[in-house]
Structure formats: structure tokens, C-alpha cells
Amino acid sequence: MAGWLLSAAGLDGDMDFVLADWPFLAHFERAMDVALSGPYMEVVNYFKWNDPQYNTYDQVAETLGYIDCVHFCESINCPTLMAAGLEDAITPPSTVFAAFNHIKSSSKKIEVYPQFTHELNPFHDEKKLEFLSRQLENKPHDIPGIGKEQLFDL
């Protein structure tokens, strides 16, 4: 879902901030080269069983490029926090770094967790809450019935 979030942020151009952990759907070509398990293997297996000589590789890569979040990251100019687990088979770390490196925002950060896979990470959850709190501190809030003081008490 984080890959779609990066794509949406790039397409929208008016988001206040982005939190994107373990973004799937980033840099398909790299993912197909390094993935040994997980959903990218569906594409690898497509070639194995339908086109073992990769005759349609360019066409498939072009089609997947339409949903590859890396292509939208260069339009992201808002504060962005991302995360990568170096043991992640679902979202290979190099694909996360590809997305991160294409983000144009000068206020971007990636947290790297060497022993984590594509899983919940309470340490990163704390960092996300800190990031979210900083982003919301000076923003106007339009939540009916909830004032700024109440928002931070939730």
C-alpha cells in the first residue's frame, strides 16, 4: 500500500506529508532481478512458464512502469518518512532505496532496520508518531468538534 501512497503523493502534488513504510510496487526491474520469494516472483514465474527467453520483457516492463511508484516519486516535494527492512523479501531494500532516491523533497528520511522483514515494527511506529506529531503541530485542523488541543490528546 505504501507504493500506492508514494504514487498518489506524486500525482497529487499537494500533500502535507508522506509516511511510506516498505513500499511495494517500486522499481519492478530491480525487484525481478533480486527477489527470491514474495509477490515479485509472480512476474518472474510468468516469464519462466510463458516466455522463458524474455521476448516480451520490454513490453512487460513498460506496462509495469505505469504503476511503478518510482516514476511518481520525483514529483514528491513534501516531508517524507520511509522505512526499509534489510531482510524484506516482499519489498527488496534496493527497490525502497530507488523510490527514496527519486523523491525531490529536501525533507526526506529513510529509517533502515537490518534485521526486519516486511513486518510490524514497534520501533518504527514510535518514529512515525514523532514525525506525524511534528507535521501536525503547526498545521490548521478542520476536524469538526475537535480542537487542536484535543487532537494531540487522542
pLDDT at 6: 97
pLDDT at 131: 96
Parallel/antiparallel/unpaired status of strands 80-85 and 108-113: parallel
pLDDT at 145: 61
Query: How far apart are alpha carbons 26 and 70 in whole angstroms?
Result: 6
Q: How many structural domains does the chain have?
A: 1
Query: How far apart are alpha carbons 126 and 99 in whole angstroms?
Result: 23
Please name which of 20, 44, 26, 29 lies closest in space to residue 124, comparing C-alpha atoms.
Answer: 20
pLDDT at 37: 86
- Please list the pLDDT of the chain residue by residue as tens digits (154 residues): 899 999 999 999 889 999 999 999 999 999 999 988 889 999 999 999 999 999 999 999 999 999 999 999 999 999 999 999 999 989 999 999 999 999 999 999 999 999 999 999 999 999 999 999 999 886 766 656 666 666 555 4
pLDDT at 149: 63
pLDDT at 146: 60
Q: What is the pTM of this model?
A: 0.86
> CATH code at 38?
3.40.50.1820
Cβ(117)–Cβ(89) below 8 Å: yes
Kind and range of the H or E element at 111? strand 108-113
Q: Which domain holds residue 24?
A: 2-138+146-151
